[in-house]
């Protein structure tokens, strides 16, 4: 895929991420700067803690799954991918602060994709890791409002 086309796709994927209603509950932002990679940046605060005062596992899963998913979806320009399985490891508790989920595609280009992600805390320590399997759905990316709107904005004059 030519670099300009790839960048349009990446910006549209970022728009898709931003449009997801779940991200109003888990405030975060995504950055896609190259094929097969995605980064999600978020802050851990007490409102996502479990009873023992650290981030609930829901946060680990969501951010790891999203980073791996979007890394894999950089390779697919026509269809939305679906997570079919995800294995995660909790390495350390996250108490507070900025956390970055780094996702990268590992293998697969036709129907099934494998991608991994890791969570890095504000001290640079890896606090979680996961590997997911993703497959093409029947849902065209262009049919999803967040993707289509971002694509249109990127293609409009002056963008």
The predicted-structure confidence for 52-71, as pLDDT tens digits, reads as follows 999 999 999 999 999 999 99
Residue whose C-alpha is closest to residue 43's, from 55, 52, 31, 61 = 55
Q: Tokens 């999203």 — which residue?
A: 66
Rounded-to-integer distance, Cα 92 and Cα 38, Å: 22
Model confidence at 159: pLDDT above 70: no
Per-residue DSSP letters for 110-158?
Answer: SSEEEEEEEEE-TTS-EEEEEEEEEEEEEEEGGGSHHHHHHHHHHHSTT
Range 73-105 burial, b when 16+ CB lie within 10 A, else e: bbbbeebbbeeeebebebeeebebeebbbbbbb
- pLDDT digit string, tens, across residues 114-127: 999 999 999 999 99
Q: Is the pLDDT of residue 158 over 70?
A: no
Domains delineated in the chain: 3-155 (3.10.129.10)
Owner of token pair 């992600």? 117
Range 127-140 average pLDDT: 98
* pLDDT band of 1, cuts 50, 70, 90: low
CA nearest 135: which of 86, 81, 87, 85? 81
């Amino acid at each position: 895929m030519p670099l300009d086309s790839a960048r349009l796709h990446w910006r549209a994927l970022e728009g898709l991420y931003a449009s997801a209603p779940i991200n109003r509950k888990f405030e975060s932002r995504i950055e896609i700067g190259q094929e097969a990679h995605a980064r999600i940046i978020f802050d851990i605060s007490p409102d996502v803690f479990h009873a023992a005062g650290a981030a609930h596992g829901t946060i680990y899963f969501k951010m790891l799954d999203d980073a791996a998913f979007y890394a894999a979806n950089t390779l697919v320009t026509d269809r939305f991918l679906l997570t079919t399985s995800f294995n995660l490891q909790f390495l350390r508790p996250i108490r507070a602060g900025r956390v970055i989920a780094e996702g990268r595609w590992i293998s697969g280009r036709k129907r099934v994709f494998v991608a991994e992600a890791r969570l890095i805390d504000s001290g640079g320590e890896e606090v979680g890791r996961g590997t997911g399997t993703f497959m093409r759905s029947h849902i065209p990316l262009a049919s999803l409002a967040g993707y289509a709107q971002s694509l249109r904005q990127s293609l409009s004059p002056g963008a």
